[in-house]
């Protein structure tokens, strides 16, 4: 699977409060509406400026904070292709894979705002077409690849009626 899109660059420690703020708690049962505010507390105009298929690119510890699955949900619903970061917070990482949002752990220092990226998932390579460079992604654990391939955890359980992961 090849995915292409533009990079939107963020810094370190982007929290779930940046992605899906607590003050919008009442929209949690209305995810399409909440998605209009995705990453609002990091960049108030992000939701308007981004296009479907773009990449969110960040530094360390992306998604730290609360366990709200709404955070990866709104990134996915907004049409973010994948999140690329140097590292991810644990609960966010699990949640994203569970709901089928692609996460790529890689060195994002060589990606700038607006760069055109091409992600080759099978090869685990990110091509930065603007800079003409290639970045290698850290492979996901097998368990998570199985979940992603089944279309998320709920689908996996629906398919097998139980965990078939280990």
Partner 1 sequence: MGKTIAEKIIGEHSGKKVTAGEFVVANVDVTAVQDGTGPLTIQEIQKINLEQAKNPSRTILFIDHAAPSPRKELSNAHKILRDFAKKTGAILSEVGEGVCHQRLVEDFVNPGEILVGADSHTCTSGALGAFATGMGSTDVGIAIALGKTWLKVPETFKIDVHGSFQQGVYAKDLILHLIGLIGADGATYKALEFTGETIRKMPMTDRFCLSNMAVEAGGKAGLIASDEITRQYLISRGRGDKFRPIDSDPDAVYERVINIDASKLEPTVSCPHTVDNTKLARELNDVKVDQVFIGSCTNGRIEDLRIAANILKGKKVHKDVRLLVVPASREIFIQASREGLLEIFAEAGGAINTPGCGPCVGVHAGILGDDEVCLATQNRNFQGRMGNPKGYIYLSSPATAAFSALRGKISDPREVLVK
Q: Within 13-126, where are the H helices?
A: 16-19, 31-35, 46-49, 70-78, 90-99
Of 71 and 137, nearer to partner 1 (C-beta) is 71
Any contact of residue 165 with partner 1 (CB under 8 A)?
yes
Rounded CA gap, 83 and 16, in Å? 14
Q: Are 147 and 157 in contact (CB under 8 A)?
A: no
Of 2 and 145, nearer to partner 1 (C-beta) is 145
Any contact of residue 76 with partner 1 (CB under 8 A)?
no
Of 81 and 98, nearer to partner 1 (C-beta) is 98
Any contact of residue 63 with partner 1 (CB under 8 A)?
no
CB atoms within 10 A of CB 14: 27
> CB-hemisphere CA count at 13 Å for 104?
26
Rounded CA gap, 31 and 50, in Å? 18
The only residue of 13, 105, 116, 118 in contact with partner 1, by rule CB under 8 A: 13
Residues 15-44 that bind partner 1 (CB under 8 A): 15, 17-18, 21-23, 25-30, 41
> Which helix (H) or strand (E) is 154 found in, with range?
helix 153-160
Contact positions vs partner 1 (CB under 8 A): 13, 15, 17-18, 21-23, 25-30, 41, 60-61, 64-70, 72-73, 87, 89-91, 94-95, 98-99, 141-143, 152-155, 157-158, 162-163, 165-166
């Amino acid at each position: 699977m090849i995915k292409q899109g533009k990079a939107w660059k963020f810094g370190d420690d982007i929290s779930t409060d940046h992605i899906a703020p607590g003050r919008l708690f009442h929209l949690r049962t209305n995810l399409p509406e909440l998605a209009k505010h995705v990453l609002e507390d990091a960049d108030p105009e992000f939701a308007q400026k981004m296009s479907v298929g773009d990449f969110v690119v960040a530094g360390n510890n992306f998604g730290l904070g609360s366990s709200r699955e709404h955070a990866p949900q709104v990134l996915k619903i907004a049409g973010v292709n994948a999140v690329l970061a140097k590292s991810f917070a644990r609960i966010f990482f699990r949640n994203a894979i569970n709901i089928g949002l692609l996460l790529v752990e890689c060195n994002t220092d060589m990606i700038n705002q607006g760069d055109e990226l091409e992600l080759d998932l099978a090869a685990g390579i990110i091509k930065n077409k603007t800079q003409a460079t290639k970045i290698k992604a850290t492979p996901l654990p097998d368990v998570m690849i199985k979940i992603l391939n089944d279309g998320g955890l709920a689908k996996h359980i629906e398919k097998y009626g139980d965990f078939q992961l280990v």
